[in-house]
Amino acid sequence: MESTVQQKAAHVTTRRLLDMKSKGEKISVLTAYDYTMARILDRAGIDVILVGDSASNVFSGHNTTLPITIEEMIYHAKAVVRGVQAETGRSMVVIDMPFMSYQLSSEEALRNAGKIMKEHECDAVKLEGGRLIAETIKRITDVGIPVMGHLGLMPQSIYKYGSYKVRAQEEREAEQLLEDARIVEESGAFAVVLEKIPSKLAAEVTRSLTIPTIGIGAGAGCDGQVLVVNDILGLDREFHPRFVRQYADLSTVIGNVVGQYVRDVKDGVFPSSDESY
Ligand code: KIV
């Protein structure tokens, strides 16, 4: 009983993230989509685990984030929450609301955010957009569901923009983004992801908000950083964007391990007598 109380006390909350910003303590965020990875991330001390709709790309092999469904996101979210709970229980878990689960109306968005929160014990949902979804953010936060915003490169709008290039490089778009960030904060979001925008602009947004900014390809001036876990582990041999720091080459490591296993099985040297009953 005592240990359960201690675990809950350590759990990262929206309040804790605000404190971290005010103390200048950086916030670490990574994506995860399954139980095993969530256990590893929580044990390693990650502050926030994002069950990103990037699962559509890196888990399911789609070209974009658009095809993933709310049921699939809930499936990933349940596994991740179970992983965190099986370890220290410290990491906050945020779930991406998938494309078309919140854009039709604020009422439907609220229903779907509620569905995501009710299915498992996650902490918050994340939505892409600024002024256009202000009312939606307000309705969801008004009922007590924490919302993380997402501005800059918004992968769910990829067909509108036609490319994954850096956003808000021109003054007008930069001003709009700054304004959108203020609107997202005023609507009740507890944090906002800034994806692929110039570092100078991200630092300015960070200074002008009281809520934390979490950057991805947005420079060191943000209050925290998020990356896709598959990218830092080097699981994709072809994907090496400038904003990713690849800490390992697991694609090669796993390939070598599997190759060795295949040879051992073919050569009849696995299993040995020690590995048999
Ligand atoms: O879906 C995702 O993984 C994301 C992060 C990259 C911010 O939205």
Statement to judge: residues 227 and 154 lie in one domain: yes
Statement to judge: residues 262 and 207 lie in one domain: no
Task: Note the pLDDT tens digit of each residue in 194-203.
Answer: 999 999 999 9
Beta pairing class for 213-216 and 224-227: parallel
Residue 3: predicted pLDDT: 46
Statement to judge: residues 144 and 167 lie in one domain: yes
Statement to judge: residues 7 and 81 lie in one domain: yes
- How many distinct structural domains can be found in the chain? 2
Distances (CA, A) of 235 to 155, 229, 246, 252, 254: 20, 9, 9, 8, 9
Q: How many Å from the N-terminal Cα to the C-terminal Cα in the chain?
A: 40
Residue 1: predicted pLDDT: 43
Atom of ligand 1 nearest to the CA of 193: 7
Q: Which tokens go with 93?
A: 């878990």
Q: What is the mean pLDDT of residues 54-63?
A: 97
CB-CB contact of 108 with 102 (8 Å): yes
Statement to judge: residues 260 and 160 lie in one domain: no
Catalytically active residues, by annotation: 195
Domain range for 38 is 2-246
pLDDT at 4 over 70: no
Statement to judge: residues 222 and 276 lie in one domain: no
In the reported structure, the alpha carbon of residue 207 is separated from the centroid of ligand 1 by a whole-number distance in angstroms of 23
Atom of ligand 1 nearest to the CA of 65: 1
List, chain by chain if needed, residues with CB within 6 Å of any ligand 1 atom: 31, 50, 52-54, 96, 193, 195, 216, 226, 228
Statement to judge: residues 71 and 158 lie in one domain: yes
What integer best gives the mean pLDDT of the chain? 95
Name the CA dihedral angle for 47, 134, 207, 31, rounded to a multiple of 10 degrees. 20
Residue 241, preceding bond cis, omega within 30 degrees? no
Statement to judge: residues 108 and 220 lie in one domain: yes
Statement to judge: residues 132 and 254 lie in one domain: no
Statement to judge: residues 254 and 241 lie in one domain: no
Statement to judge: residues 238 and 266 lie in one domain: no
Statement to judge: residues 167 and 225 lie in one domain: yes
Question: Residue 169 belongs to a domain with what CATH number?
Answer: 3.20.20.60
Task: Note the pLDDT tens digit of each residue in 68-84.
Answer: 999 999 999 999 999 99
